[in-house]
Copies of this chain bind each other. A is one copy, B any other.
Amino acid sequence: MGNISHSFHYFVAIKFQVKLMKTTTYELKVQGFHIDRYGHVNNGRYLEYLEMARWDYIEKIMDPKIAEEKGWNFIVVEINIRYRTPAMFQDMLRIETHMQEPGNVKVQAIQKIYRVTDNKLIANAKVSFVFTSRTTHSPLRIIGDLKEYTLKSQ
């Protein structure tokens, strides 16, 4: 009986986490010039798709004007992307983006690309970025007002 009660609480905790996570969706259509000689979207173009979706996220959730005023640049330091299913000419794609809890200097975006027609997973990626100072180009510790800014994603 104790066990049952325990797993119930666990379930609630998961639901909470999902609710608190801010996720944006961004849609785009595959163009003829995204296709490469194999007839599917070239691996490099997906990074453009992901970047479009991250800026859309930043606009909707984090406000790019604040980063502009503060002189904070968003600089990608690592990308891990897995290609699951090839996307083809004129496919409508939906990209879901959310952010992990910010670290001391890094933030990690989790991005999933789905084909709209059948919700098939096309690719998924983890994109780590830091904030650098526009003047010094050095990475900034995520404290104070920058911490507050990144917590908008949570």
Contact = CB atoms under 8 A, between A and B. Distances in A.
A111 B111 CA distance: 24
A63 interface: no
Interface in A34-78: 35-39, 42-45, 47-48, 51-52, 55, 64, 73, 75-78
Contact of A81 (B64, B78, B90): B78
B38 A33 contact: no
Question: How many copies of this protein are present in the complex?
Answer: 4
Interface in A6-50: 31-33, 35-39, 42-45, 47-48
Given A38-B73, A83-B76, A31 B48 contact: yes
A51 B31 contact: yes
A66 to B, nearest CB: 14
A82 interface: yes
Contacts of A51: 31-33, 42-44
Contacts of A78: 80-83
7 contacts: A31-B55, A33-B45, A37-B89, A44-B44, A55-B90, A76-B83, A79-B79
